[in-house]
Amino acid sequence: MAESKVGKAPKTESQVAKVRRARRINRELAEVYPYAHPELDFENPFQLLIATVLSAQTTDLRVNQTTPALFAKYPTAADMAAADPADLEQILRPTGFFRAKTRSVLGLSAALRDEFGGEVPGRLADLVKLPGVGRKTANVVLGNAFGVPGITVDTHFGRLSRRFGWTTSQDPEEVERDVAALFPKSDWTMLSHRVVFHGRRMCHARKPACGVCPIAALCPSYGEGEMDPDKAKKLLKYEKGGFPGQRLNPPPDYPGQPAPPLGAS
């Protein structure tokens, strides 16, 4: 009988029922990922802003392997704005699309230098005016560098929000709005981390590991992925699969292994 209830959330549910189920999913994910955190290495708002811009079309791991040399050479917005584009391109080459990213980083750094005294602003309205900065990047910076609650809708968050039945939209701003209506603002930043962690480690795009998923009973999409527990376990990534994480310098409570630096075997 227990199995018949798994993944059987109603196709139509009241808003109250949806809120209850969504918040229970969040509580369950908090148990599974008590160490959830931003997976970009950073020491200050400027580093996080630049790293988040660089993370487009690549992994956080590759960004984390690239930024130590970048920030060692250009530690401030003024330093980076004055950088030789060719030198920047050489450093950023491992992240892919390095020419476009070089232009973005130069423009962003110049805007910080000229309009904000070299400091990263702590308001959404200011951040989204910066070159190459949209709502996703702004919410990452606000939530993790300034403690301002925000929902970060990346590809993982959008995919899981639809699988969980929190939204039907493909538009990031609509997803953000729909999910925000289900949770108190104080939950938004950590919710984002937990959902992204789950998407990267277990609820993959092509073949989610349904057979070992701890929130299967709450998920209307249960059964889309691998159902056999033994086979599903082999799909787990990062610390859940016994592999290194994405950060070279993870938080102290992270249970996995740090990622290797660039060029390490």
Residues identified as active-site: 136, 154
Nearest 5°: the CA angle 200, 206, 209 is: 60
Residue ranges of E strands in 73-126: none
Residues 22 and 182 sit within 8 Å (Cβ to Cβ): yes
- Alpha-carbon distances of 212 from 194, 197, 256, rounded to whole Å: 17, 15, 19
Q: What is the DSSP letter of 78?
A: H
Cα-to-chain-centroid distance, residue 221: 21
What string of DSSP letters covers 42-106?
Answer: -SSHHHHHHHHHHTTTS-HHHHHHHHHHHHHH--SHHHHHTS-HHHHHHHHGGGSSHHHHHHHHH
